[in-house]
Amino acid sequence: MARVVVVGAGLAGLASAVRLAKLGHQVTICERDGRLGGVLGRVEADGFSWDAGAASTTLPAALRDLFRKSGRPIESLVQLEPVTEPRRHMFGDGSVLDLPISDRGAQLEAWTDLASDTVAKQWTDLVDAYGETWQVLRKTSLEPPLQDKLPLSAIRALKPWQSLERVAQRQLDDERARAVLRYFAAQGGSEAKLTPGYVGVWSYLERTFGRWTIEGGFGVLADALAQRASERKVDVRTGAEVVAVTTTQGAVTGVRLADGAELPADIVVSDIDPRDLFGQLVDDPAAKKVRKRALSTHQAQAAYVVHLGLREPVPVLPFETVLHGTPTVVVRTGGQAPAGHQAWSVLVHGYPTDDVLDLLVARGLHVRDKVVSRQTSQSWWAGVAWEGYRTARRRAANVSPVKGLYCVGAGAHPGSGVPATTLGAAIVADAIGKA
């Protein structure tokens, strides 16, 4: 049995903790803030409740595997629900596309109605082709630890040098279709021209596996993981800021807290920004190369989020509406509201120069006089921005060169988002193994 300290209680940190506890290790979580969950938070005010960050996910199998490998199935604590409404795309020319999420035929019909048979076939063929991309990524990049070098066959299939913008320009003739594809870069806080084309695989994943939310909001997932941690006898410490990971001769020995306390550990799992981890917390010669790589990356641009409590009547919108333009604005309607009201979350991807309500009005959503509550979310660590395909090699590997030190979360392999960070925790648990 190893003594494990998990630094940070975001989704990846919690997932790592409960998996490792189930494997028989003695696990302590140190979380700087007063609550668990990171982006799996809630904002509550004036009788309204909104998801602070994540509100849906694809690849539900990753969450199901997490709960199964840490105890009972997810259904014992959380109810996953499919998002059945199409994602609405509103374009600058006034046209609107309601694009079904998980139905190939319905997507083909929607594009035909909006544009033409040609555009519909181009979109469908592109998403179909991402099926091969998914198989390559799954086998080489998402399920195993980060490899020093991918097989040549994988590199040829992924074409990492080809940007998402280039894919859009080459394979889609309609500018609206290009904007929909670019959205998969924008939602990750990156520019399409700097994002590898294979990131468009999320269009295939959504169509194949659907998009899922949670009854009561994604904050329920944080509660469920906290309960699972309690069931697994994890020692959870909030308000406990780690200021150093202590090492001896290239191996971890524990962590030091801001109050001066030291916790001995055989294994440390970090769910914080790797730039902070290797730039400030770890002072060991074994970390020299990974420190240089981590510090060469830049943070993805976190969405600016404003939560609105609205008095009805308001425009009827689906679960998610994308307002294309500069900046890209996304409206989510899945919040909880008192009778006669609605709860919207407005995410601005880009640098907002106008007030959120001005942006909504300019895009055709006139709700200024309906606002009865307005709250702004805390900015969260959004992971690493794509700056060309080599960015993938600069992300922190799950297994670090410092013996006993592991990395999970948005800044680590295999990337940000609920599916990727959950898969990263699985990689770490498998690498550490049973007690």
Q: Dump pLDDT digits (tens) for 258-277.
A: 999 999 999 999 999 999 99
Closest among 193, 190, 201, 146 to 165, alpha carbons compared: 193
Q: What is the DSSP string of 96-109?
A: EEEE-SS-HHHHHH
Residues 88-123: pLDDT tens digits?
Answer: 999 999 999 999 999 999 999 999 999 999 999 999
Query: pLDDT grade, residue 398 (50/70/90)?
Result: very high
Give the pLDDT confidence score for residue 379 in this predicted structure. 65
Query: pLDDT grade, residue 431 (50/70/90)?
Result: very high
Give the pLDDT confidence score for residue 378 in this predicted structure. 67
Q: Among all chains, which residue has been given the structure tokens 């609920």?
A: 418
- Whether residue 245 is predicted with pLDDT greater than 80 in this model: the reply is yes
Q: What are phi and psi of 158, to 5 degrees?
A: -80, -30
Give the pLDDT confidence score for residue 353 in this predicted structure. 76
Torsion 248-252-258-260 (CA) sign: negative
Give the pLDDT confidence score for residue 428 in this predicted structure. 97
Residues 332-360: pLDDT tens digits?
Answer: 998 999 999 999 999 998 877 789 999 99
Residues 157-214: pLDDT tens digits?
Answer: 999 999 999 999 999 999 999 999 999 999 999 999 999 999 999 999 999 999 999 9
Tell me the mean pLDDT in the region 243-267. Answer: 97
Non-local (6+) Cβ contacts of 61 within 8 A are 209
Say how far apart CA 408 and CA 302 lie, in whole Å: 18
Residues 60-87: pLDDT tens digits?
Answer: 999 999 999 999 999 999 999 999 999 9
Q: Among all chains, which residue has been given the structure tokens 């601005």?
A: 348
Query: pLDDT grade, residue 145 (50/70/90)?
Result: confident
- Whether residue 141 is predicted with pLDDT greater than 80 in this model: the reply is yes
Say how far apart CA 55 and CA 219 lie, in whole Å: 9
Percent of the chain surpassing pLDDT 90? 88
Give the pLDDT confidence score for residue 352 in this predicted structure. 72
Q: What is the dihedral of CA 336, 342, 343, 347, to 10 degrees?
A: 140
pTM of the model: 0.95
Torsion 419-425-431-433 (CA) sign: negative
| More confident call, 145 vs 228 | 228
Query: pLDDT grade, residue 420 (50/70/90)?
Result: very high
Give the mean pLDDT of the chain: 95
Q: What is the DSSP string of 218-237?
A: THHHHHHHHHHHHHTT-EEE
Q: Tell me if 398 sits within 8 A of 146, measured CB to CB.
A: yes
